[in-house]
Amino acid sequence: MKNAFSLILLLFLIASFSPSAFSQMPVLPQVDSIFLHMNTTTSPGCALSVMKEGEIVYEKGYGMGNLEYGITISPKSVFHVASVSKHFTAMAVELLVNEGKVSWDDDIRKYVPEVPDFGKTITLRHLVHHVSGLRDQWNLLGMAGWRWEADRVTQKDVLDITSRQKALNFEPGSRYLYCNTGFTLLAVVVERISGKTLREFCEEHMFKPLGMEQTHFHDDYHRIVPERAYAYSPDSKGAFGWRNSIPDFDVVGATSLFTTAHDLAAWDRNFYTGQVGGKKTLDRMLDPFVLDSGDTISYRHGLVESVYKGMRTVSHGGADAGYRSQFLRFPDEQLTVSVLCNYPSANPGGLAYKVAEVYLKDKIEVSKPDEAKEQSTSVEVSNKDLEALAGYYYVAPLPEVFQLNWRDNQLWYRNAALKPLGNHRFQLGNSTNVMLVKPSGKKESGTLSWEGSSDVYEHYDVWEPEEKELASFAGNFYSEELGTEYRFALEDGKLMVHHRKMESFSLNPVFQDAFFGRAGLVVFSRNAKGEVDGLHVSNGRVWQVRFDKK
C-alpha cells in the first residue's frame, strides 16, 4: 500500500510540473463553464484550442457537429472558417515575395488584367490592407441577384463582376473599407504566378510542412470532407429548432479555408519557429499601412492589431452562412485561443476573450476610479434650435444616411438621446461618441460629422411624396456593372422593386429622390428636363452602382 501511495504521489508531482498539465488543471472547470450553454446533444456548438508558445494546453469540443447523425464536435472537427482564411492567403503571397516573384507594390493589373483600369494604380499592398477602393464581391453579387445557399459562386463569377465595374468606392490608399474582392484577387495572383491552385500551393508550402493534416482551401463545393462539422441557423420548424446553413461557393482567398481547432495550434507554433516563411516574413505580416491622411489603420496582412485590457492582440474573425470563427493571439503573453463554431449567434470572439481572461487574469488591467473619464456636462439649448437639426444627413458617395429625430423634447439618433455639450457638439447617449451637428447658415445647409472623422454630411428635410410623385420613378432600370435589371412599380401606394431572382421589396422615402430598401440606399438621378433617367444604389461596401432607365 505504501509503495502504491508513493507511486501515485510521484505521478501527481510529475503531472503537476508538466507545463501542459500545470496550465490546464486550475482552469478546466472555468473554461468549460464558458461553453456550458451549448454543450448539449440537440444544438450546434464550438471547438476550442488554447495554445501557449504554440503548444496546446487545452482543447475540447462542445455541442454537435452533425445533428442528423448525432456526431459531436471535437478539436479535430473540420470547420469552414470564413475570413480567418485571409491571413493564410496573405502568407501565400508573402512566400512569393520572398522568392522575388511578386512585390507588394506591384499593380494588380500586372497579374489580373481583368481588373479595369480606373486611372489609379491598385497595388497588392492596397488589397491586403483593404484600402484599394474596390467594391466588395459579396455586395455586388447580392445586388446582381445571387442567392446565398442557393446559387453556387465561383472564382470566375467574382472576376466577371469585378471586370464590369466602372468606378471605385474611393481612391486607393485614401481610406479603409473591408473588401473581400481584394483577397480573392490575391488568390488569383498566387495561382497565376505559381501555376498551382491556391489549395495546392498552400498544401505544399504551408500546411504539409507544418503538419496541418486536416487543413485545406475548399475550392470544390462538392468535395467530401471527413469529420466536417455542418453549420446551422435557427428554424422554428426544423428538427431541434435548426436548419442546415452551408456556404455554397468555390471562391478562395477571402474565405473557404477548412481547418480544425487542433490544426490551428500548428499554425500558431509557426509564429515562434518561423518554419514557414521565416522571422522576416512573419514580422512583415504585421507591417502597418498609413493612409494618405496620415492615419495608421489597425488591419495588417490578414490580422487586426489591437489592445485588450492592456494587452496587445492580433486576431481575425470569420462569418459565412452558419459558420463563425475567431483566431486570437496575445503575442506578448504568448497565448493564443481559437474558437470555431457552427451557428450564427455563437459569438466566438466573445468566447475567445472570455477564455483568454481565465488564463491571463493576473495580467488584465483594471481601470481605477480616478482614471475613469469625467462625465461630460450638458449645456442648455432651446427646443427650437434642437428641433431645427432634425432630419436626414447625407453626402455622396457614402452609403450611410443619418437620421435625427425630434421627440419628447429631445433630439435622438436611433435609440440614443443627444446630449448638448456646446459648440455644436453632442454626446451620443452614455457612449463616448461625439457628433457635431451644425445648423444651416444663410448660404449653406446644416451639417453632421463625427468627432475624429473628416466626412461631413449635409442636412436634408424629411420627404413624404404623394402617389403621383412616386409614379414618376416607375420603370425598368439596367446596370451594366451588375449585368442585371430592376423593375420599379407603384403598387398600393408604395414604390416596389422587382427582380427575377429576388423577392420583391418596397422602398421607403427618406429625402428628395432618395429611398431606403433591402438593396440599400437608392438615389434617383434626373436629366436636364427634370425627368428621372437613372439611379445609384449603395450598401455598405459598395458605393453608387449605376442603373440607367431603359
**Could you tell me if 423 and 514 lie in one domain?**
no
Q: Buried (b) or exposed (e) across 474-502, using 16+ Cβ within 10 A?
A: eeebebebbebebebbbeeeebbbebeeb
**Could you tell me if 449 and 485 lie in one domain?**
no
**Could you tell me if 286 and 397 lie in one domain?**
no
- CA dist list (Å): 381 to 415, 417, 418, 424, 450: 20, 14, 11, 10, 20
Alpha-carbon gap, residue 74 to 65, rounded angstroms: 8
Nearest to 133 by CA among 121, 146, 145, 142: 121
* Domain C-terminal end among 309, 327, 359: 359
Contact 218, 252 (CB under 8 A): yes
**Could you tell me if 212 and 247 lie in one domain?**
yes
Q: How many domains does the chain have?
A: 3
Alpha-carbon gap, residue 449 to 200, rounded angstroms: 48
Give residue 102's domain range.
Answer: 79-134+169-359
Residues 6 or more apart whose CB falls under 8 angstroms from that of 434 comprise 421, 425, 426, 427, 428, 450, 451
Nearest to 173 by CA among 225, 123, 242: 123
* Domain C-terminal end among 416, 431, 460: 460
In a domain, 8, yes or no: no
DSSP letter string over 72-122?
EP-TT-BEE-GGGHHHHHHHHHHHHHHTTS--TTSBGGGT-TTS---SS--
In a domain, 372, yes or no: no
**Could you tell me if 411 and 517 lie in one domain?**
no
Q: Where are the beta strands (DSSP E) in 241-334?
A: 242-244, 257-259, 289-290, 296-297, 304-308, 311-320, 323-330
- CA dist list (Å): 89 to 18, 94, 174: 36, 9, 24
pLDDT value of position 427: 94
* Domain C-terminal end among 460, 490, 512: 460
Angle formed by the axes of helices 180-194 and 85-98, nearest 10°: 40
Residues 6 or more apart whose CB falls under 8 angstroms from that of 302 comprise 86, 87, 88, 89, 90, 91, 128, 183, 285, 316
In a domain, 67, yes or no: no
**Could you tell me if 266 and 405 lie in one domain?**
no
In a domain, 139, yes or no: no
162 strand-pairing partners: none
pLDDT value of position 28: 75
**Could you tell me if 129 and 266 lie in one domain?**
yes
In a domain, 369, yes or no: no
In a domain, 157, yes or no: no
pLDDT value of position 324: 98
Nearest to 302 by CA among 477, 86, 42, 63: 86
What is the mean pLDDT for each group of 10 consecutive residues in the chain (550 residues)?
Answer: 45 41 57 96 97 95 97 98 98 97 98 97 98 98 90 94 98 98 98 98 98 97 96 95 94 98 97 95 94 96 96 98 98 97 98 97 73 66 93 94 94 94 92 91 87 94 93 97 97 95 94 94 96 96 97
**Could you tell me if 228 and 289 lie in one domain?**
yes
**Could you tell me if 296 and 435 lie in one domain?**
no
In a domain, 232, yes or no: yes
**Could you tell me if 270 and 404 lie in one domain?**
no
pLDDT value of position 376: 67
Give the pTM.
0.92
**Could you tell me if 447 and 477 lie in one domain?**
no
**Could you tell me if 455 and 504 lie in one domain?**
no
- CATH number for position 183: 3.40.710.10
In a domain, 283, yes or no: yes
